[in-house]
Chains A and B, each alone.
Chain A
Amino acid sequence: MSAAKSKAKDFLLAVEGLTVSFDGFKAVDDLSFYLDPKEIRVIIGPNGAGKTTVLDLICGKTKATSGSIKFDGKELTKLKEHQIVHSGVGRKFQTPSVFEDLTVFENLEVSYPQGHSVMGALAFKRDRAVIEAVEEVAETIFLSDALNEPAASLSHGQKQWLEIGMLLIQKPDLLMLDEPVAGMSVTERKKTAELLKVITKDHTVLVIEHDMQFVGDIADRVTVMHQGKVLSEGSIEHVKSDPKVIEVYLGH
């Protein structure tokens, strides 16, 4: 027990024996994996493998049936969503979910990690620090020129970037991205890969992705999921040559 605990401490994220069942169907079944600090991990797997559910479990959107998720030594399964965010986990959803009625600036401002209580939000002032943080992030996500535009007027790709920016401004230790390049044009994809490279300099990133080319570009390690379990794990080459992976996912 104590050995397991100390083991969990060295990792930024330690998922152990994680299980969730929906009416008897185990979407995630006794799953364990570990993330090192500053690691970029990509989760791949066929549809219905439970990839998105894993992210849902980590960020608290779905409650685990059993198992543990330790983040920086803290148990996440008991926390509420916003508490998980405050402990340093940011989550991007598959379809871009930004606040369409607000401007790009306001979208980022809302995500700025200050004034998150009711009274805090009432007293919140747009000071220099906020403006600088917003401008800095806007620069990173290629949206410096669009700060005053409503988010509704952005392209699909730009919305994806904006949502990534909304995570960045929270200064999370762990970023979870669900298919960040889905629906993007080739140029947007390239820019996103660049963006991720910048981000990964000082964040741990957990990505779900299908595009193997893209996976190869960014991943330190790859976890392949199948039917709620880990099928294979390791470098991209290792995974690509694993016969089990070829069988269920990559195809012959």
Chain B
Amino acid sequence: MKNSSPLKWFGSREGLYYLALAFLLVVLLPLMLDPFRLNMVGKYLTYAFVAIGLVMCWGKAGILSLGQGVFFGLGGYCMAMFLKLEASTPEATAIQSTPGIPDFMDWNQLTELPWFWEPFHSFSFTLIAVIGVPVLLAFVIGFAMFTRRVGGVYFAIITQAIAAILTILIIGQQGYTGGVNGITDLQTLMGWDIRTDAAKTTLYFICVGMLFLCLFIARLVQNRKLGRILVAMNAQEMRVRFSGYDVAAFKIFVFCLAAAFAGVGGAMFTLIVGFMSPSFIGIVASIEMVIFCALGGRLSILGAVYGALLVNAAKSGFSESFPELWPFAMGALFIGVVLAFPNGLAGLYQTYVMPLEDKLFERGKGARAEATPAKPAAERKPKTEKTDDYDPMIDSYSPEKS
């Protein structure tokens, strides 16, 4: 009856929010910024993937993970392994004692490629692994925790421990992983030099495209009954269980979804920044990701994107001038958010800006309806929005309206 065509959706308020973000990322920022700065924005955006996952997992379903860096890192390492192998041709590494293996392996007296590196010669395998490896780990963790009903603080602590463990493992096994330096000196992606300005700009746009893909997947999930179950589970887990739902399965699903998003973000990070190292996995990195999400608004997937952009921009700006003060500023920011506006920027927007928009919208719609009274369906649905609650296509439940 209404809202069923994608074109009309872009005319709705929610559609306009997405268009505004798309305009900002696709048109405004590329026009305003030089390639170096644009590349920085691309880097910030890779964290937005994690933040979107955290909105689903923490904001909606109430599962706080302090280890999202793990999944971000795994996605990133998978991509880095592929790029590193491509950069380590026998010709390029002819001066090594074992040519054809990554340089750091040679430095660590390895004489052949470890078995788990082999499949990363294949790009299609790498693409699958970028999502598959984080999801697999998330599934194992989720299965072990959620079927035993481990939740809340305990779950958060365990995820944090996993972040610490993985960091230590990677640093310790430097012959296999590149150790504390990470996997560096990445050059080409299937023959395409990713270090040029042109390539970096292209990668930026690919990143934006992937981000919107993830946003739409997240939006789909939250608007389906699945999304309502997640929210319901957060508040009344027992009632959900006794309404016939296997709560653990839903938690595992959303945790895996967040891991998948984080993995994609990590892979984009490797491509955009040109290396991957354990410092993006650990506890501090993981907690920062939670801050991006909290500041943007933990109930809003769009808010999370803005949160990731703003906090990272502030971080760069701040640490360029006062590097030693940044951790304090960050801490203050987080405390401020939690105390003063727990729903983050999206919450503020909803409370203060949306009422203003309401007025504008009403007036605009009214004027247009008068001007072209007979104009069909496309514009003629200003008021029905609220009353027509049974239409399966509308998202009648959305606590944050975005």
Point out residues on A near B: beta carbons under 8 Å.
Answer: 59, 61, 80-82, 85-86, 90-91, 93, 97-103, 105-106, 109-111, 113, 115-118, 121-127, 131, 147-148, 163, 166, 170
Map CB proximity to A onto B229-247 as digits: 1 under 8 Å, 0 otherwise: 1011001101111111111
Whether B397 sits at the interface, judged by CB under 8 Å, is yes
Cβ–Cβ contact A121 & B231, under 8 A: no
Cβ–Cβ contact B392 & A127, under 8 A: yes
Q: Pick the contact of B242 from A85, A99, A125 — CB < 8 Å?
A: A85
Q: List 24 A-B contacts (CB under 8 A).
A: A82-B246, A82-B247, A93-B239, A93-B242, A97-B239, A98-B239, A99-B231, A99-B232, A100-B235, A101-B231, A101-B232, A102-B228, A102-B232, A106-B228, A109-B225, A110-B229, A110-B243, A111-B243, A116-B245, A116-B246, A121-B224, A124-B224, A166-B239, A170-B244
Cβ–Cβ contact A148 & B243, under 8 A: no
Point out residues on B near A: beta carbons under 8 Å.
Answer: 221, 224-226, 228-229, 231-232, 235-236, 238-247, 249-250, 253, 389-392, 396-397, 399
Cβ–Cβ contact A148 & B245, under 8 A: no
C-alpha gap A124/B227 in the complex (Å): 11
Cβ–Cβ contact B244 & A103, under 8 A: no
Cβ–Cβ contact A106 & B221, under 8 A: no
Cβ–Cβ contact A81 & B224, under 8 A: no
Q: Which of A85, A86, A106, A118 has the most CB of B within 10 A?
A: A118
Cβ–Cβ contact B243 & A80, under 8 A: no
Known: A97-B239, A99-B232, A121-B226. A113 touches B396 (CB 8 A): no
Cβ–Cβ contact A121 & B246, under 8 A: no
**A115 CB contacts on chain B under 8 angstroms:** 225
C-alpha gap A71/B240 in the complex (Å): 22
Cβ–Cβ contact A82 & B245, under 8 A: yes
**A147 CB contacts on chain B under 8 angstroms:** 389
Cβ–Cβ contact B390 & A122, under 8 A: no
CB of A102, distance to nearest CB on chain B (Å): 6
Q: Which of A91, A101, A115 has the most CB of B within 10 A?
A: A101
**B226 CB contacts on chain A under 8 angstroms:** 118, 121-122, 124
Q: Closest residue to A80 on the B side, CB-wise?
A: B246
Cβ–Cβ contact B241 & A81, under 8 A: yes
12 more A-B residue pairs beyond the given contacts A86-B244, A103-B389, A122-B224, with a C-beta to C-beta distance below 8 A:
A82-B241, A82-B242, A82-B244, A93-B239, A97-B238, A100-B236, A111-B244, A113-B244, A121-B225, A123-B224, A127-B392, A147-B389
